[in-house]
Amino acid sequence: MSSVFTRDLGGVRTKLFYLEAASLMGVEGVSLDNCGGVLCGSVDVKGFGEPWLFVDVVGEGTLGVDGLQYAVFSYGEGGESRWVRVSPGRHSITLSLSSVRMFGERRVEYRGTYLVYREPLTFNFVLKAKLLLDVAEAFEDLRRDYLEILNRALDRFFLDSVAAWQLRFAVKAHLVSPPWFVRSLFDYYDEKELTHLVNPDFKKLSEEAREALEVLERGIEELRVRRGPRGLVHVAGHAHIDLGWLWGVDVTKQKVRRTLINVMSLMSEYPELVFLISNVAYLKWVRDEDPQLFSKVRDLVRSGRIIPVCGCWVEFDANLPGGESLVRQFLYGQRFLLREFGRTAEVGWLPDTFGFPATLPQILRKSGIRVFFEHKLYWNTVNRFPYSVFLWEGVDGTVIPTVNYATYGADLTPTQIARAWNDHTSPELPAFLPFGKGDGGGGPTWLMLERYRVYRDLPGLPRLVMGGLGDLINRLTNDDSLPRWRGELYLEIHRGVYSNGVKLKQLVRRLETRLRELEELSVVFNVRRSYEDYWHTLLEAEYHDPMGATSTSNVYNEVVRGLEEALGRVEGELMNLLRDSLGSGDYVTIVNTLPWPRVGFVELKTTLEGLPAQKLDGKYLVRVMTNPLGYVSFKPGKPSVELNDEVTVEGNSLENSMLRVTVDNGVLRVFDKEAQRWAVRRGYIVACEDMPSRWDGWDIEGWYRRVCRELSFEGVEVLERGPLRGCLGVNYSFRRSRVRQVICLYAGDRIIEVRNEVDWRERLVLLKAFYELGIFGHSASFEAPYGVVERPTRPSNSWEVAKFEVPSVKWVDVYDPDYGVAIFNDGRQGYSVEESTVGITLLRSPIYPNPFLDYGHLEFTYALYPHPGDWRRAEVPRRAYEFNQPLIAIEGTAGGAKTFISIDNPAVMLEALKWGEDGGIIMRVWESYGVNACTRVDNWLGVREAEEVDLLELNGQGRLSLDRLCLRPFEIKTILIKQ
């Protein structure tokens, strides 16, 4: 038959809508009363038709029907997520509504609950035909075949009447979208006026539906002869629920619980459903707050119906936290799973994280992860990532199979299935597609599972297999022919998250540092205590949205308060531990928490006998020499007046024996006196227009550079004069805002400290400091969590051009073979490097989702470190650790000196010293130069041999000698000392 006489997609959809409306046999309102914060009531369901409950809500909630509970939610239009199938008889009903909508909006609308009766065969036909129509729409090469089947089936109906009440309700609650003219009908006519529109003959409709269903089945079987499956796609239910984004943790807990009970209710009706759960913290919440629900989860995990993935405490930001934070995500996550379920996760799972450092493969593999699953690379805006399945090789050479799947919140529509397969670059292997409602929670819906039943073996589509992750993992881990990607997985979007949230990022850095110091000192002073509870607070703050400060102001403030409280407790415990351990007396004790000797500066109430000092307002700056990881005590007394090097201050300049720092009309210049060359030719601050086109709070777009203005220079003043430290105060203004930089130079030191005091009153403006260096700028190195990555200074392709703003943990170094300049930070982690100019993003001021972000008074510090040679020769990693871990001064101690641990090779860093989870002492070290390195590890216990274990402290890797401990480039070693 000519296509002119064949219903097209719109024609099929229109008739299906009329049939859906005609299938309504009756609608009754359900009266619910207020029962102590929830709505409750009962409903008598008659024994005719197919009964459903429909909850008319814009928002989200939990519907209880006798012993089963379901997630109900809607964005405000259509929504299979508001329908729940019920059986005849009397049922008790409860409805608990969330205080916010799907995305945290404040307005929840509840419009009523209805008992709806449908003609079963007609509705069954509409459902199946609608799913086939979606196939015809998604697959152009299948469209003609499926339209022909649908046309033949629809020909079996001769629908001659639909009542006005049926049309009215179908517009409100539909699976098939109504034509515009049906929606418009009730803008002109009241339902009571349309009395001539009457109910259809339900008996006739049922008979026609039976025949139409047979036509559909025959048509599909005939098509199966000509159309085989396109490939294989593994599917599984999931719900990506952000810990803190547009709602707070209290709402997240509701979403998690609602999702789990919804999944369990669906599993009773759809036994094929397999559900993936990530974020171990969520499981702990359920265990602690709803033991009965957790017991059901445990049973389903053991039976394989629920599969824990990720193995991490929460789905963390991977670029900005320190390496030890990433390790603790898996240490605490995997061990929780092992304790509660008898197994750890094999699948790494970070679908929404904003890029992945080249150090992550090693952390994943040493945490028991066999395959890594991510999605976010699909969001790239410059380059399309070339692989859906590949071998990802990290900076240390560790390789992990990685799946880059098409979406993390599929509805299992044919369009999504088509994309999952068409984007799959290794057709000899299965593709992967998780499905389920995220954000608002709920996970899979009944309609998604109906889609699975229809589509799993439908001709012309990829064959769908529910779950089967074990088989998929085995195939991926045994396929060495996969393409290989080396280095970081840089995300070409969301670059603003590196710099958002000044206070939050400072708190994260400080809590990370203090926690590691507290654990370390607890071990050496033999105070047995687990600090896992403090780590939980930190790790949850490092969830990708809180860490990126891409949350509402309420959520941001909630996270900041939690970090401040935890930091206060940690610092209190740290100081109490030191006072208790060092005893009381007349001495001042300086504690060094790093395993190499240091010369540093401390501010005290008194001078120390024989040590250089400088008087400040009400206190003294004292220069001290300390032992490696340990302490040295000094007697208060007359300071030394002899100095090999002093800081001199003249007008607008600071000078020691190494460097001369000048500020001329607001421009910073640094001359290296020893090397006789300019280190910084020009340092200045600019304010730039910051108006991203897609994700305001997340993004920095390359065009921010087009409209920039240097800040107005308001003057320079001398704040401190040597001999140990000289400081200049440099004042700037921009519109309503003020910036004050306090630039300090220390005696005998190459580090130039830049303290920033900002009163920021702008929106849609980015503040950045640029430093034009006196070098060519051959290379740029950036610290990543447990490693270092190289990035180009002169882009030569689109992949490199896209990296115009990049993350770094504590330091970045731009260098030539003979000279370089490093920048250290206390939480300012967004950088740009272009040839010999390095920029540090100081702050951003978006309006969504937090129009108050970084508004008002802010303080932060970074430092410049000009040095001869490259960053390795200059021991940049050690200097960056010193910048972030200042010496600790304890007054009124008993005296003495002690070294607990000493590491002689500057390439080897001690990152953690803690009590082992199963006993003993854990020492974690890593190689930071990218070279093969051996070192001697002297320790206070006199232990010369130990055992290597994985990051989970579970599996032995062999014996080690601490007299000669050798590491491969960027290798992480976890050492168990059994004493």
Instruction: Residue 873: name the closest of 917, 931, 925, 830 by CA.
Output: 931
Pairing of strands 389-393, 484-486: parallel
Provide the pLDDT confidence category of residue 926 given band limits of 50, 70 and 90: very high
Does residue 99 register a pLDDT over 90? no
Contact predicate 778/689, CB 8 Å:
no
What is the percent of the chain where pLDDT is above 90?
90
DSSP strands (E only) in 458-524: 463-466, 484-486
CA distance 822 to 752: 10
Token match 């910084």: residue? 680
CA distance 689 to 913: 45
Residue type, 251: V
Pairing of strands 819-825, 33-34: unpaired
Contact predicate 137/79, CB 8 Å:
no
Termini Cα distance of the chain:
86
Query: What pLDDT digit, counting tens, does each position of 271-319 carry?
Result: 999 999 999 999 999 999 999 999 999 999 999 999 999 999 999 999 9
Token match 């139409």: residue? 212
Does residue 1 register a pLDDT over 60? no
H or E element: which one contains 560? helix 553-582
Reduced to 3 states (helix: H, G, I; strand: E, B; else coil), residue 396 is coil
Does residue 36 register a pLDDT over 90? no
CA distance 733 to 928: 40
CA distance 815 to 810: 17
pLDDT score at 164: 92
Instruction: Residue 177: name the closest of 77, 76, 51 by CA.
Output: 77
Phi, psi angle pair for 243, to nearest 5° = -65, -45
pLDDT score at 77: 59
Contact predicate 972/366, CB 8 Å:
yes
pLDDT score at 79: 66
Does residue 236 register a pLDDT over 70? yes
Instruction: Show the CA angle centred on residue 913, arms to residues 574 and 633, nearest 5°.
Output: 50
CA distance 436 to 430: 20
pLDDT score at 73: 83
What's the gap between Cα 407 and its chain centre?
A: 16
Query: What pLDDT digit, counting tens, does each position of 699-728 carry?
Result: 999 999 999 999 999 999 999 998 999 999
Give the Cβ contact number of residue 584 at 10 Å: 10
Per-residue pLDDT averaged across 364-368, rounded? 98
Question: Where do runs of H (alpha helix) occur along 23-139?
Answer: 120-138
8-state DSSP, 316: B
> What is the widest separation between alpha-carbon atoms in the chain?
108
8-state DSSP, 355: -
Token match 């079963």: residue? 120
Q: For residue 274, is it left (φ>0), alpha (ψ between -120 and 50) or beta?
A: beta
Contact predicate 503/278, CB 8 Å:
no
Give the Cβ contact number of residue 267 at 10 Å: 20
Query: What pLDDT digit, counting tens, does each position of 623-677 carry?
Result: 999 999 999 999 999 998 778 889 999 999 999 999 999 999 999 999 999 999 9
Contact predicate 741/771, CB 8 Å:
no
Does residue 532 register a pLDDT over 60? yes
CA atoms within 13 A on the CB side of 904: 10
Provide the pLDDT confidence category of residue 76 given band limits of 50, 70 and 90: low
CA atoms within 13 A on the CB side of 585: 14
* Assigned token pair, 563: 């970090």
Provide the pLDDT confidence category of residue 98 given band limits of 50, 70 and 90: confident
Our CA dihedral for 427, 430, 436, 438, rounded to 10 degrees, sits at: -70
8-state DSSP, 548: T
What is the percent of the chain where pLDDT is above 70?
99
Residue type, 79: G
Task: Cis check for the bond before 849: say yes or no (omega within 30 of 0).
Answer: yes
Instruction: Show the CA angle centred on residue 954, arms to residues 334 and 901, nearest 5°.
Output: 110
8-state DSSP, 27: E
Does residue 191 register a pLDDT over 90? no
Stretch among 108-112, 176-180, 361-365, 850-854 having the lowest mean pLDDT: 108-112
Phi, psi angle pair for 711, to nearest 5° = -65, 150
Question: Long-range contacts: 953-962, Cβ < 8 Å, 24+?
Answer: 953/331, 953/916, 953/917, 953/918, 953/922, 954/338, 954/368, 962/936, 962/937, 962/938
Instruction: Residue 643: name the closest of 662, 629, 623, 659 by CA.
Output: 623
CA distance 809 to 324: 12
Stretch among 74-88, 417-431, 481-495, 863-877 having the lowest mean pLDDT: 74-88
Contact predicate 274/466, CB 8 Å:
yes
Give the Cβ contact number of residue 456 at 10 Å: 18
Token match 């200074």: residue? 793
* Assigned token pair, 758: 């900002």
CA distance 242 to 239: 9
Contact predicate 139/414, CB 8 Å:
yes
Question: Which residues are paired to 822 by β-bridges?
Answer: 813, 865
Contact predicate 768/732, CB 8 Å:
no
H or E element: which one contains 282? helix 280-289
pLDDT score at 440: 64
Query: What pLDDT digit, counting tens, does each position of 670-702 carry?
Result: 999 999 999 999 999 999 999 999 999 999 999
pLDDT score at 441: 67
pLDDT score at 667: 98
Please, which residues have CB within 8 angstroms of residue 793's CB and are 6 or more apart in sequence? 777, 778, 779, 780, 814, 833, 834, 835, 836
Question: What is the rounded average pLDDT for all residues in the chain?
Answer: 95
Give the Cβ contact number of residue 324 at 10 Å: 23
Phi, psi angle pair for 118, to nearest 5° = -120, 150
Phi, psi angle pair for 383, to nearest 5° = -120, 140
Instruction: Show the CA angle centred on residue 567, arms to residues 565 and 572, nearest 5°.
Output: 100
Contact predicate 778/794, CB 8 Å:
no
Please, which residues have CB within 8 angstroms of residue 838's CB and are 6 or more apart in sequence? 770, 771, 773, 780, 812, 814, 821, 823, 831, 832
